[in-house]
């Protein structure tokens, strides 16, 4: 009898807990969906604007002063290029900075590394569960293009490596023009991943 009474008294608390967990799950799913849609809309808008600016420059017409073309160097949170890996179906805008707010919507140029067109090591970071997830299938000799409003730079993958997060040597300047892509590893790890996956690509000379 006592056990039945205890069970009866506990039922309201169980229902409350079930309701709370359901609400928390719905809110979490809603947040993830909102972040996903925001990133998709941002990418679509910026790709459209970027393509328009490229066409304007190619036609030799002056670009509007408030466009991306007005900034010679990347501005904080500003788009300055587009990264593409054709074999993997990757096409994503590149912004300046690697804060969480930057990487929610795009991939980010790591401050302090070379800019596209400069000599040295151009380093770009992205989340493993969004834009850089296809890097799990990247292979040696894959081609990567990095387009700015001025021109497109092409690279050929020469190596991949897994390093600890404190290994910042992959960002150091080099004696040749390279592109370094960085994301967390393992790709299927739940939570804050313990390592970093690094792709190195050498710039292909213009022909």
Q: Read off the pLDDT of residues 7-44 as tens digits, 9 standing for 90 and up.
A: 455 566 666 556 555 555 544 445 445 556 666 777 77
Task: Tell me the CA distances in angstroms from 128 to 6, 15, 42, 107, 177, one per residue in order.
Answer: 48, 37, 19, 11, 25
Bond preceding residue 73 cis, omega within 30 of 0: no
Q: For the segment 139-174, what is each residue's pLDDT rounded down to a tens digit?
A: 999 999 999 888 899 999 999 999 999 999 999 988
CB 122 within 8 A of CB 136: no
The structure's pTM equals 0.77
> What does the domain layout of the chain look like in residue ranges?
73-203
Q: pLDDT digit string (tens) for 93-135? A: 999 999 998 899 999 999 999 988 888 999 999 999 999 999 9
CATH 2.40.260.10 corresponds to the domain 73-203: yes
d(CA 99, CA 122): 17
């Amino acid at each position: 009898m006592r056990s039945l009474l205890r069970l009866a008294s506990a039922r309201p608390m169980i229902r409350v807990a079930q309701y709370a967990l359901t609400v928390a799950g719905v809110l979490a799913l809603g947040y993830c969906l909102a972040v996903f849609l925001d990133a998709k809309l941002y990418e679509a808008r910026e790709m459209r604007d970027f393509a328009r600016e490229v066409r304007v420059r190619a036609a030799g017409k002056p670009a509007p002063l408030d466009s991306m073309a007005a900034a010679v160097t990347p501005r904080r949170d500003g788009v300055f290029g587009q990264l593409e890996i054709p074999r993997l179906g990757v096409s994503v805008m590149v912004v300046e900075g690697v804060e969480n707010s930057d990487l929610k919507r795009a991939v980010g140029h790591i401050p302090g590394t070379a800019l596209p067109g400069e000599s040295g090591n151009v380093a770009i970071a992205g989340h493993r569960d969004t834009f850089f997830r296809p890097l799990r299938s990247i292979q040696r000799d894959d081609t990567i293009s990095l387009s700015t409003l001025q021109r497109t730079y092409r690279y050929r993958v020469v190596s991949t490596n897994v390093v600890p997060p404190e290994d910042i040597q992959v960002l150091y300047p080099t004696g040749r023009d390279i592109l370094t892509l960085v994301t967390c590893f393992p790709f299927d790890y739940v939570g804050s991943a313990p390592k970093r996956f690094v792709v190195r690509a050498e710039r292909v000379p213009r022909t």
